[in-house]
Chains A and B, each alone.
Chain A
Amino acid sequence: MVTYIIRRLFAAVVLLFVISMITFFIFYVFPRLGGQTTESLASQFVGKTQSAQAIQGVIHRFGFDQPIWVQYGRFVKGIFFGYDYDTGTQMAHCYAPCLGYSFKTNTLVSTSIAQWLPVTISLAIGASILWLIFGVSVGVASALKKGSFIDRAGMITALIGVSLPVYFVGPLLALAFVVNWHIFPDPDYVAFTSNPVSWFTHMLLPWIAVAFGLAALYARLTRVGMLDTMNEDFIRTARAKGLPERTVIFKHALRAALTPIVTIFGMDLGFALGGVVLAEQVFNLPGIGREAVDAVNQSDLPVIMGVTIVASAFIVLANLVVDLLYGVVDPRVRVS
């Protein structure tokens, strides 16, 4: 188990490194391939209303005139140790993890992201719980009562669910539950620490919007997995030795059917984050997704870059946790 943990940790570190390189490539190299000059790139990083002379200063201060690997080294050093930079009027220090400085809002990117993260994390965790619980339970119920009304209703709902995007189902839910029936309050972010009940009721609708499509997908996957497993020999053996049906289903079949679901769950976290970003936009919640979209509209590149890196790092960490849990649940993966 220890070697397994070390191997996974090492893989996660390598992955983070690769992601930092890809992000750096997207923001500093790709635009040049598209035909941008050093000047136009630098002006995008600081906002567009700069004089030619000021741009030259910016290019020099932020090292745009240096070779790519020097720039990358500076970028990585900033994340681990922070760095000093010249704002033009005074020297300032960007504390580690330094993700740059937004000239549009005059704040450190890391400070802003720390402010937005709780919203995104609340949304992501709540939605994950909902999607796993509903996906797996509907899938199991459908498989156990194959061909019944429950199965058909569940699978038709799932089919509709996988075809309904967050940006359509979100406003539809709001129309029904907020505008028409007044069941839920208008979605909004209330800090968990200030009022947990209010946090819950205001988040419920965005959670459902994000979880609906994924729950539908998982219901279909669980149903297929469960049907396969129920035909396995070990299930017949378990029944033959007189185990109660409940034990056969929950201790034997479900455990075997769930292991592939855990793997897919790790891979789908990145996809789910996309749903969270869309939900933030739909319900106007101040998380990293909505702020990244705002930053895109204002060409505030340091913010977009910071959000991309932080989000990727979270996905890698979440995957690490899933992998480690997987190693506990299924001892076979530790050796492979």
Chain B
Amino acid sequence: MTTLPGDASTLHDDFGEEESPDPVTPAAKTIEGRSLSQIAWSRLKKDRVAMAAGIIIVLLVLIAIFAPLLASLSGNSDPNAQFMDSIDPNTSMPLGSAGGISSTHLLGLEPVIGRDVLTRVLYGSRISLLIATSASLLSLIIGIAMGVIAGYFGGWIDAAISRIMDVFLAFPLLLFALALAAIVSDHAFGMSGDTLHIAMLIFIIGFFGWPYAGRIVRGQTIALRQREFVDAARVLGAKPRRIILKELMPNLIAPVLVYGTLLIPANILFEAALSFLGVGIRPPTPSWGKMLNDAIQYYRVDPAFLIIPGAAIFITVMAFNLFGDGLRDAFDPKAH
């Protein structure tokens, strides 16, 4: 939001006045202090488990981004190509051992349909990470807004928002998500196909997840509200909007970051659960949950087809959980 003098965009900038140097906070360059995030980063660097998990997360994101490239490098670029000559016509199971693992199909083939498992796992990571991170962002945005409002204003506003959060928390979310996913037909809200299903999943998972973030932010806000720097800002005549955005928000970044990192794996499991139940991403689009759903029918004869997508979910979720734990310890070593 840096604006040059005389720049036309200043006219549209409602917050233009607040861009001027803040008299309350000292200029950052002159004092050689370390900020909370610098301290946390130096702690995090020493946490070998968290760093390893972080590297795995980076790799997973790269895999998701470059899935088509990696798939074509493995020799099977099309996730829907069927290799029926490698499927035993009598048993419908892949030929060869361990689910048909071979040099041409590195993780084997799907039973009956004969699609390449590696390519589908690679493409599945896109759906999984896209939905989980977008839903987490949605939850965090709603949760932060509601939590800060409830915590800062208190009184009946707090009572009302807290009650709503309690209602949400007590809900059997999976059943409600199931109902919502079922009720929406193939064309709704001007969307159709994968776009609609992805948007619906992000909305359902994100919308039902906000109260968890809301509770954490509310608690932090109540603690921060009574601190001296907030009093100082209020005495200087700051309006609630300024106090919330400029004084409270920067202090909420750490807990929100930690919680957000731990929310992503929960959402990966939620998305996979919905796809497992058949109301998530529709075939033939690859998703890990749907692969496990298919695998349930064959796992006694073809366990490899169960273990590979299951392991993909497990490794991803574990990496995010470990990194989130490390992040929490780095920001607040006393938490443990």
Question: Chain A: residues with CB nearer than 8 A to chain B?
Answer: 15, 18-19, 22-23, 26-27, 30-31, 33-36, 40, 44, 159-160, 162-168, 171-172, 174-175, 179, 224, 227, 266-267, 269-271, 273-274, 277-278, 281-282, 289, 292-293, 295-297, 299, 301, 304-305, 307-308, 311-312, 315-316, 319
- Which one of A293, A304, A307 contacts B278 once the chains associate, using CB atoms below 8 Å? A293
A33 CA / B189 CA spacing, docked (Å) = 7
Contact A31 B184 (CB under 8 A): yes
Q: Which residues of B contact A175 (CB under 8 A)?
A: 299-300, 303, 306
CB-based closest 5 A-B pairs:
A274-B174, A34-B188, A168-B310, A163-B318, A296-B182
Contact A270 B170 (CB under 8 A): yes
Contact A308 B176 (CB under 8 A): yes
Work out how many contacts link A and B, with CB atoms closer than 8 A. Answer: 149
Contact A311 B175 (CB under 8 A): yes
Contact A299 B296 (CB under 8 A): no
A159 CA / B265 CA spacing, docked (Å) = 13
Residue in chain B with minimal CB distance to A282: B296
Residue in chain B with minimal CB distance to A269: B170
Contact A267 B183 (CB under 8 A): no
Q: How large is the interface on B (under 10, 10 to 19, 20 to 34, 35 or more residues)?
A: 35 or more
Contact B273 A171 (CB under 8 A): no
**B178 is an interface residue with CB less than 8 A from chain A:** yes
Residue in chain B with minimal CB distance to A296: B182
Known: A31-B185, A296-B181, A308-B175. A316 touches B170 (CB 8 A): yes
Which residues of B262-277 have CB atoms within 8 Å of chain A's CB atoms?
265, 269, 272-273, 276-277
A312 CA / B184 CA spacing, docked (Å) = 21
- Which one of A33, A267, A278, A316 contacts B273 once the chains associate, using CB atoms below 8 Å? A278
Residues 153-181 of B, flagged 1 when their CB comes within 8 A of A and 0 if not, give: 00000000000000101111111101111
Contact B174 A273 (CB under 8 A): yes
**B279 is an interface residue with CB less than 8 A from chain A:** yes
**Interface-central residue, B167, B269, B306, B307, by most chain A CB under 10 Å:** B269
- Which one of B176, B190, B295 contacts A26 once the chains associate, using CB atoms below 8 Å? B176
A311 CA / B187 CA spacing, docked (Å) = 29
- Which one of A35, A266, A270, A315 contacts B187 once the chains associate, using CB atoms below 8 Å? A35
Pick 26 A–B contacts, CB within 8 A, sort by A.
Answer: A15-B167, A19-B167, A26-B183, A27-B179, A30-B184, A31-B183, A31-B188, A34-B188, A160-B318, A165-B269, A168-B292, A171-B306, A172-B310, A175-B299, A227-B336, A267-B169, A270-B172, A271-B173, A274-B174, A277-B174, A282-B296, A296-B178, A296-B279, A308-B176, A311-B172, A319-B170
- Which one of A160, A274, A296, A297 contacts B172 once the chains associate, using CB atoms below 8 Å? A274
A289 CA / B321 CA spacing, docked (Å) = 28
A292 CA / B172 CA spacing, docked (Å) = 13
Contact B277 A278 (CB under 8 A): yes
Known: A23-B179, A293-B178. A274 touches B276 (CB 8 A): no
Contact B189 A34 (CB under 8 A): yes
Minimum C-beta distance from B202 to chain A (A): 15
Contact A301 B183 (CB under 8 A): yes
Known: A167-B272, A293-B278, A315-B170. A273 touches B183 (CB 8 A): no
Contact A18 B321 (CB under 8 A): no
Known: A168-B314, A277-B174, A277-B277. A305 touches B189 (CB 8 A): no
Residues 272-316 of B, flagged 1 when their CB comes within 8 A of A and 0 if not, give: 110011110000000001001101100110010011001001100
Q: Which residues of A contact B273 (CB under 8 A)?
A: 165-167, 274, 278
Contact A30 B183 (CB under 8 A): yes
Contact A163 B314 (CB under 8 A): yes
Q: Which residues of A contact B144 (CB under 8 A)?
A: none
Contact B170 A273 (CB under 8 A): no
A307 CA / B179 CA spacing, docked (Å) = 9
A35 CA / B187 CA spacing, docked (Å) = 8
Minimum C-beta distance from B52 to chain A (A): 13
Q: Which residues of A contact B292 (CB under 8 A)?
A: 167-168
Contact A163 B185 (CB under 8 A): no
**B101 is an interface residue with CB less than 8 A from chain A:** no
